[in-house]
């Protein structure tokens, strides 16, 4: 049974289409008819009162789906106009056939003249998985005109202009109210810039037989909510792990405080903090449950490392001599470790394999780890996360809309929780804390990364019920306990 959680790339979708067409009672025409009909049903479900619709039809089979929908809408008595680029009439045999059937039935179609007819719903069937470059000229104008109209847009398969494999938006792209995907969910619609364009999402499998999916692992999957066992009645703090948070250079005390508090709310039995002496009093005032230790030289870290089960290394760490010393001592301990913030920058400058670690870069830090640039990371977030995992050996959480979690030999996961209110200072420190907390409680790096990122996003969503703008890391941390409770058997 296919779901929106199993994500496929375009090669897989094309192969699935081929396999479906090899079934005795299915051919490519059947699939396109089913796609157009499923899209028509979807339109009716979302906009049952629409009387006038405009269908933007591109040259390929995505356009073909649009012509089928237009025919159904017309047969049902709606006022329908199909608009196609004047320079790009239907080009594939299937699209030509569906356009012909629509015309034979007396349907209205016109070449784009610069303005779109007025409509209550616009159907976007310009480009689907076949988009291979940024739309330009006339097609870019059609997309801009559709976005500028006040009508909601139903996108067929992919909002036109989106790279359905990578989530990137190379130029202009449709802002859909809803996107109905065909056969299987597209990996690129779950992360990055695409998220602002897809609207709500649904999937029609076009009744492709389940056997078509045999031997086909998804390229990625949407991270499911983690499951935690209920705590034993005779539990004690020694059973729930000891986190050591390391960071807080002069002038950067807030980050390490947030990481420590988040590690406590993530369920760790004990949390120690190794930081500059000036931050200890503030830490203990804010969170007396944490144990603050003034560490002025790396050697002071040794006894603390010995007692720790996992480390949160990097929040406010800085990049000076003190920072280097703590960074090297922490990694030399071989303890499970979250490497974040300045520790990622130190790692980028002195790369080494860290198989037991969880790296939590934002796109800028990811670019430094890969020796590339932020735009390249964002152009293919899956590839970037997987490349970091391959290069450094541990688990990776590439932060940003639709955070991607990767590790060598594992199917990548993408988060469907979280919200833009979380774009504020301290959120990354809170993520480090909760992942370190799970590492300390015994989770393996990939599971700690995935479960920690999910809890962080879910707590952010709970906090955002009071509004997104102005949401603070401290507000999110206040909801971690509830998020964990939701996931506890």
CA distance 8 to 164: 10
393 is in an annotated binding site: no
Q: In what order do the strands lie in the sheet with 79-84?
A: 108-111, 79-84, 52-57, 121-125, 153-156, 178-182, 200-204
Closest distance between ligand NPW and the C-beta of residue 93, in Å?
10
| DSSP letters spanning 187-230 | GGGGSGGGGGTS-EEEEE-TT--GGGGTT---SEEEPPPP-BPP
Is the CB of residue 19 less than 8 Å from the CB of residue 212? yes
Angle between helices 363-370 and 341-349 (to 10 degrees): 20
Instruction: Confirm or deny that 124 is annotated as ligand binding.
Output: yes
What residues line the site for ligand NPW (CB under 6 A)? 13-14, 17, 31-32, 35, 58-65, 91-92, 127-135, 139, 156-158, 182-183
Q: How far apart are CA 486 and CA 359, in angstroms?
A: 26
Q: How far is the CB of 43 from ligand NPW (least distance, A)?
A: 15
183 binds, among K ion, ligand NPW, none (CB under 5 to 8 A by kind): ligand NPW
Partner whose binding site includes residue 92, from ligand NPW, K ion, none (CB under 5 to 8 Å by kind): ligand NPW
User: Which of 157, 309 has the CB closer to ligand NPW?
Assistant: 157
Cα dist from 452 to 10, 383, 401, 415, 445, whole Å:
30, 21, 16, 11, 10
The C-alpha angle 296, 262, 230, rounded to 5 degrees, equals 130
Contact between 242 and 263 under an 8 Å Cβ cutoff? The reply is: no
Work out what residue 160 binds among ligand NPW, K ion, none; the CB cut-off runs from 5 to 8 Å by kind. K ion
Closest distance between K ion and the C-beta of residue 143, in Å?
10
| Closer CB to K ion, 157 or 309, in the complex | 157
Could you tell which of K ion, ligand NPW, none binds residue 131, using a CB distance below 5 to 8 A set by kind? Answer: ligand NPW
Rounded Cα–Cα distance for residues 38 and 400 (Å):
32
Question: What is the nearest approach in angstroms of ligand NPW to the Cβ of residue 415?
Answer: 25
- The binder of 124, among ligand NPW, K ion, none, by C-beta within 5 to 8 A per type, is K ion
Integer Cα distance of 386 and 369 in angstroms? 12
Instruction: Pick between residue 135 and residue 315 the one whose CB is nearest to ligand NPW.
Output: 135
> Which positions touch K ion (CB under 5 A)?
124, 155-156, 160
Tell me if 266 is assigned to a ligand binding site.
no
From the CB of 38, what's the least distance to K ion, in Å? 14
Known binding residue 28? Answer is no
Closest to ligand NPW by CB, 84 or 381: 84
Structure tokens at 182: 């065909």
181 binds, among K ion, ligand NPW, none (CB under 5 to 8 A by kind): none
126 burial (CB, 10 Å; 0-12 / 13-18 / 19+) is: buried
Separation of alpha carbons 180 and 155, rounded Å: 6
CA angle 483, 484, 487 (to 5 degrees): 95
Among ligand NPW, K ion, none, residue 475 binds (CB under 5-8 Å by kind): none
Smaller CB separation from ligand NPW, 61 or 323: 61
Indicate the annotated binding residues for K(+).
62, 124, 160
Query: Binding site for (6S)-NADPHX: which residues?
Result: 61-65, 128-134, 157, 255, 316, 362, 429
Q: Binding site, residues?
A: 61-65, 124, 128-134, 157, 160, 255, 316, 362, 399-403, 428-429
């Amino acid at each position: 049974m296919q779901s929106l959680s199993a994500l496929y790339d375009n090669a897989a979708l094309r192969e699935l289409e081929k396999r479906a067409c090899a079934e005795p009672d299915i051919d490519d025409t059947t699939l396109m008819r089913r796609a157009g009909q499923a899209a028509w049903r979807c339109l009716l479900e979302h906009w049952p009162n629409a009387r006038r619709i405009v269908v933007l039809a591109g040259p390929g089979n995505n356009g073909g789906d649009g012509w089928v929908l237009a025919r159904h809408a017309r047969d049902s008595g709606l006022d329908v106009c199909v608009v196609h680029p004047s320079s790009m009439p239907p080009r594939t045999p299937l699209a030509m056939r569906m356009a012909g059937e629509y015309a034979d039935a007396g349907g209205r179609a016109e070449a784009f003249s610069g303005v779109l007819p007025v409509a209550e719903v616009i159907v976007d069937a310009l480009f689907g998985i076949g988009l291979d470059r940024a739309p330009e000229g006339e097609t870019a104008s059609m997309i801009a005109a559709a976005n500028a109209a006040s009508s909601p847009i139903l996108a067929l398969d992919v909002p036109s202009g989106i790279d359905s494999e990578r989530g990137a938006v190379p130029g202009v792209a449709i802002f859909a109210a809803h996107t109905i995907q065909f056969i299987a969910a597209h990996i690129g619609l779950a992360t990055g810039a695409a998220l602002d364009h897809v609207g709500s999402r649904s999937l029609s499998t076009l009744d492709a037989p389940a056997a078509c999916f045999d031997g086909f692992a998804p390229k990625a999957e949407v991270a499911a909510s983690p499951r935690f066992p209920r705590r034993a009645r005779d539990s004690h703090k020694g059973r729930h792990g000891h986190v050591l948070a390391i960071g807080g250079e002069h002038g950067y005390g807030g980050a390490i405080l947030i990481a420590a508090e988040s590690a406590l709310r993530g369920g760790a039995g004990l949390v120690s903090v190794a930081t500059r002496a000036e931050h200890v009093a503030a830490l203990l005032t804010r969170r007396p449950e944490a144990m603050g230790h003034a560490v002025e030289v790396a050697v002071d870290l040794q006894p603390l490392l010995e007692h720790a089960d996992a480390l949160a290394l990097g929040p406010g760490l800085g990049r000076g001599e003190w920072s280097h010393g703590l960074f090297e001592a922490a990694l030399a301990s071989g303890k499970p470790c979250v490497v974040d913030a300045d520790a990622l920058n130190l790692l980028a400058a002195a790369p080494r394999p860290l198989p037991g670690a969880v790296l939590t870069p934002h796109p800028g830090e990811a670019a430094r780890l890969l020796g590339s640039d932020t735009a390249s990371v964002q152009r293919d977030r899956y590839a970037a996360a997987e490349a970091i995992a391959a290069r450094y050996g541990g688990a990776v959480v590439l932060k940003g809309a639709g955070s991607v979690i990767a590790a060598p030999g594992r199917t990548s996961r993408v988060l469907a929780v979280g919200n833009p209110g979380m774009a504020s200072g301290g959120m990354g420190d809170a993520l480090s804390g909760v992942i370190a907390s799970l590492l300390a409680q015994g989770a393996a790096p990939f599971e700690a990364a995935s479960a920690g990122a999910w809890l962080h996003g879910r707590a952010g969503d709970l906090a955002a019920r009071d509004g997104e703008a102005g949401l603070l890391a401290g507000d999110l941390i206040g909801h971690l306990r509830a998020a964990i409770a939701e996931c506890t058997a």
